A and B are shown apart, each in its own frame.
Chain A
């Protein structure tokens, strides 16, 4: 048996749909979109799906469970007393840190939320708070890679790539996997949304928040669109002359068509990103125009628009959650930056009837410790990295509403119920999308690889 693990020589169609790190096939015509040979053509799910799309709000740095959704009165009582826990690498004197925030029950369902969440209680009854997930890597990039790709190495395909590999893209004019971040990339950079060993078409496409949304999208300022058209016509002439001499070379025409696609993208991408046609009330609801929520609000609104247009997987990275010190200031400000926009997102999705089949996930790469070591020689009120407990929110897409799933111990140090590793979360997300992790495999490096690496379990407690 001779098995090739490499991507087979691409058909002409595959070149056309090649996305690379940009919007690629954005301007695909209907005619081409209907042809089935595209690796991005929509595929039937393996079983009845509960969700069609995912919006993942990634809180880079690791939000603290006890200061957001998993309050621990016991911990507050122990504030500044010596901790006997050994945590991670830290050695020496450790002390407990009570939460600087008050918690209260919100919604009909009585979810716990710290008082820093001002808007989110409005949608509490849509949310499922999961407390049982455990991470595996203590350091940011490895943990980010793990949550995003199922492996700490940072070379494997991202969750969003697997989803697109499994389901294809509904809208052939947009990439199936879009990533938005702050201007600074999260730790580990673009490896967090890489296609890994899957074909390049499944790579996440980053829309840059400033400057050109896609690098080199537009010609230099002194060249007009008409100028570019003339250049392309001339290039076509040169390439046709060349193709006459190389009739056997099949890649030539694909490359020529890429230029036409590129040309059309230049006018289409800005249209997708232009939020001007959204009503002012919507933009206000997302917190656009307010200093603290402008960026994340814009991205959340973009996420809704993208999903509306058929994008499968949208990820928004929001950094700054790594509160080793000054937890109160740090988390308060971070919560403030996402609270209003994500509330608006969930409401907006619901009002449009999209929430039922859109899975929204709010998570970090790990949780935080209930205690801290002395930093700089003083009692520093912050928290370290914690892989034994974390907290996340899920909404829509077939998960329970107004529910708390899993539990942590009395100080939020470690998960005690519904304990699952990250791979189970991944398997569950795939499951909700109608994909079976064990069947969603790709032959590479001598074996059939899957997102969970070696298989995992669906977290059935999360599913409505």
Chain B
């Protein structure tokens, strides 16, 4: 079944079916190659395949039956007369109600080619060659690699011959074909400009002019660090720019690439794809207490300009490399890197262990495919891929690669490069919560047990504690929850759950990592504590199979671990199949990772340079960074993409070099306006030509970070334990159901210094997104995010105007400018300068001053009320044990000696009026868009 030679260089065959001169042959060939397969896949299942389940008494599996017709008693077929043939009429879906559309489901509709083929076949007299002759026509056709129908692609083989031998439009396969070597077009210093200019030239439009220095510095700062430049940085850049723009620009890029904030910004892009969160999601939403170490690993990797190929291998197989190292030479960071394999949402609660494993494996196969190979693997889990040369066999080969991959929190010593500040304090705070839960739990337990003791005494039996009496018959022990009221029963459950939660959090302060190891499937799985067995052994995992229809209980062909065969990149020269990977327990993932990062892998480098491009320009060259298949958007500049990918690999897979090439291009420095913008938009509404710069709204993280930077509140510390910024207090204290009961309330970090860190360090709970960040499109970490949304919706306006967070920032900025300048005149100027990176125009300046004065009068008569933080809250919950509401007290010790931000009530009317202005600046379009 394996095909031999293939796609390399082929000439398009002119020998299509229609070229057959003899109408009989044409009809037979058409039937054998096209019509019969269509009938077989679309019609037979209801019309003949199973004689017991024939619909409408219509059998379509032979010419005779077709001529006989079904319950309508009309022949389905009138040879040579398609318009009198219901078979054809029903398939067009245009002849209701005379002939109901077939197949009935709209999604199963025949495509226009299939309909045309049926029509033509009927016109040709509807010949029906026997199976032998059909096979002859088929064999003849399959001997041709390329025909007008497309090309054949050799793969490990589909579930059906039709699939294996189907043909593809080579244009759809761009990502599976080798990089095209294209010479850089002449005429430009920067290769990017050369490629962009060549396409643009065909349209007679000129590129937009270069942006001014002020736009450029803001663009570069946000792009590389996610933060705005300070007025002083802008001033210095201007001095340098006036001397020599090109030197100034290059120097700026170098400085920003060297800034540790670079890793935070670009690490965030990676975490979007990897689905970073600090909890595991689903019902328990258990904390993944050491996930932060992976977050910092990613940031470090970008800051150290780690070659991408190394970055990939470490994340897929870091633990395997670590395992193969000499015990005294092992690099613990490799174990942290493999936390990538733990980033998806997963919890085995209430799922049988084999299914929980399958859910994990499906998730990780898809994650690896989307992240590194821009391939949505889910599309060929249940059947061969509908559009791409990806057989389900290859899905299960990749699945088998991970068959021995097990999850565990592993001991990993802290690294020198890790920020461990706040560890002690965090541990103490958590210990406080844990002790509280334990004490409450113990008190209730004691109450229960004293009642139990009484019961035993009355019954004249010896007391046994709860665990020891568990197995006794009911008559020999007190009732469950003896001595506890329904309310107390509910509270007991809450406290018990709290104990688990805080016990888990204690692990945050231990030298551990969310890791993986190779070994046998554990008998039981519980996300509360995933631990590695002492000796996992070396036994290879059991034989893997294709799971037919994705079902565990429907194993099909056996499969070995392997890679995607359509890429034509072997992993081995040994054995019968070059795409198979070792069957041993160890090394499966490492081989896969090396295959992914092989310089002849046609997708990997394209995938990453496409993502880098995307984050410089707002749009990727190939529009679906997670899906390079035929249904993803094709690259707008395929040659440029290939050139960038080749150049990237040839120069050590280095990101910083790629950033420099892109940012020093004139294309990158284009202005957001174009002299012929209207005409240009008519012919190119999506700016596929990249003829001008498209503005973008700040992302959620950039917005929060910029506010803090502008007010001077930002603590620029890099890395470390997750922090808890203040979030909307209604949401923070709002009860949230998890598996057995309510989750503990959200408590912000104690001091502004701790809270006002960059957003990438904010604790991320899958079950409780920060409403501010969510509103500004921070993605749902349950899905890999290939591109952020930035839809402007009304609630954004409400939050930017009215939220406590925004009020706090506006007061902080007001206080800052008051501290720096004495007169309202200069304070207004400074506020505008800090927020916009420019001084106000005269009319702006005057008007804004007047506004502040008016607001001053207002605030003289409108005092603000202080805000109080609760030190504990009373929860009310309907207990599922009893159906009764019950209450319990939850402590919020962080508010015992909390340092709040400065609030309206703490400041004068002057400050409040100035803060009114600051709030407007933060709400303005100029603040929120980058050009």
Contacts and interface: CB of A to CB of B under 8 A. Distances in A.
A322 B880 contact: yes
Contacts of A234: 847-848, 851, 917, 920
A385 B472 CA distance: 26
Given A222-B865, A237-B847, A246 B672 contact: yes
Nearest to B678: A248
B883 A323 contact: yes
A155 B783 contact: yes
B883 A329 contact: yes
Contacts of A221: 864-865
A3 interface: yes
A289 interface: no
Interface residues of B, number: 110
A254 B851 CA distance: 25
Contacts of B931: 246, 249
Interface in A338-378: 375-378
Interface stretch (B503-511, B819-827, B921-929): B921-929
A181 B297 CA distance: 40
Contacts of A218: 802
Interface stretch (A101-109, A279-287, A412-420, A444-452): A444-452
B794 interface: yes
A258 B797 contact: yes
Contacts of B736: 184-185, 189
A85 interface: no
A2 B684 CA distance: 14
A5 B350 CA distance: 35
Nearest to B843: A241
Contacts of B542: none
A219 B351 CA distance: 46
Contact of A214 (B672, B798, B929): B798
B780 A155 contact: yes
Interface in A215-250: 215-224, 227-228, 230-231, 234-235, 237-239, 241-243, 246-249
Interface stretch (B228-236, B530-538, B624-632): B624-632
Interface stretch (A16-24, A299-307, A390-398): A16-24
B694 to A, nearest CB: 9
Contacts of A24: 793-795
Most buried by A among B466, B804, B858: B858
B95 interface: no
B506 to A, nearest CB: 25
A89 interface: yes
B884 interface: yes
Interface string A41-68: 0000000000000000000010000000
B919 A184 contact: no
Nearest to B862: A222
Contacts of B928: 255
A308 interface: no
Interface in B757-801: 767-768, 771, 774-775, 780, 782-783, 787, 789, 791-799, 801
Interface in B82-112: 105-107
A455 B623 contact: no
B387 interface: yes
Contacts of B466: 376
Interface stretch (B310-318, B473-481, B587-595): B473-481
Nearest to B677: A248
A450 to B, nearest CB: 7
Interface string B715-735: 000000000000010110011
Interface residues of A, number: 114
Contacts of B730: 208, 211-212, 215
A142 B282 contact: yes
Most buried by A among B107, B771, B841: B107
Given A141-B282, A239-B924, A385-B350, A219 B794 contact: no
A180 B216 CA distance: 47
Contacts of A211: 730
A247 B919 CA distance: 24
A192 to B, nearest CB: 11
B882 interface: yes
B146 interface: no
B676 to A, nearest CB: 11
B216 to A, nearest CB: 15
Nearest to A266: B798
Given A235-B923, A258-B796, A262-B794, A216 B735 contact: no
B248 interface: no
Nearest to B632: A446
Given A231-B919, A439-B106, A18 B799 contact: no
Contacts of B379: 446-447
Contacts, number: 303
Contacts of A252: 925, 929
Given A24-B793, A222-B862, A223-B862, A187 B881 contact: no
A18 B864 contact: no
A208 B728 CA distance: 14
Interface string A425-452: 0000000000010110100011110100
B301 to A, nearest CB: 28
Contacts of A248: 672-674, 677, 692
Interface in A96-122: none
Interface in B856-898: 858-859, 862-865, 877-884
Contacts of A154: 782
Contacts of B632: 5, 446
Contact of B105 (A189, A235, A455): A455
Contacts of A446: 376, 379, 387, 624, 627, 629, 631-632
Contacts of A450: 107
Nearest to A211: B730
Contact of A185 (B692, B737, B881, B923): B737
A6 B352 CA distance: 36
Contact of B283 (A88, A141, A243): A141
Contacts of A10: 791-792
A378 B798 contact: no
B883 A332 contact: yes
Given A4-B623, A189-B768, A322-B880, A445 B792 contact: no
Contact of A254 (B479, B685, B734, B792): B792
B735 A258 contact: no
A255 B106 contact: no
Nearest to B626: A445
Given A139-B350, A185-B737, A377-B477, A262 B486 contact: no
B107 A139 contact: no
Contact of B916 (A231, A242, A455): A231
Nearest to A228: B801
B258 interface: no
B633 interface: yes
B287 to A, nearest CB: 17
B925 A329 contact: no
B926 A242 contact: yes
B864 A243 contact: no
Interface string B665-679: 000000011100100
Contact of A222 (B634, B738, B904, B926): B904
A251 B634 contact: no
A215 B787 contact: no
A114 to B, nearest CB: 14
Contacts of B472: 377
29 contacts: A2-B623, A2-B633, A19-B794, A139-B283, A139-B350, A141-B282, A188-B283, A200-B791, A201-B793, A217-B802, A222-B864, A227-B862, A234-B847, A235-B924, A242-B924, A242-B925, A249-B929, A251-B929, A252-B925, A255-B792, A266-B798, A320-B880, A329-B486, A330-B883, A333-B878, A333-B883, A377-B477, A446-B376, A455-B105
Given A215-B798, A231-B916, A326-B486, 13 more contacts: A5-B627, A5-B632, A22-B794, A182-B878, A184-B737, A188-B767, A214-B795, A215-B771, A234-B848, A246-B673, A333-B883, A446-B387, A450-B107
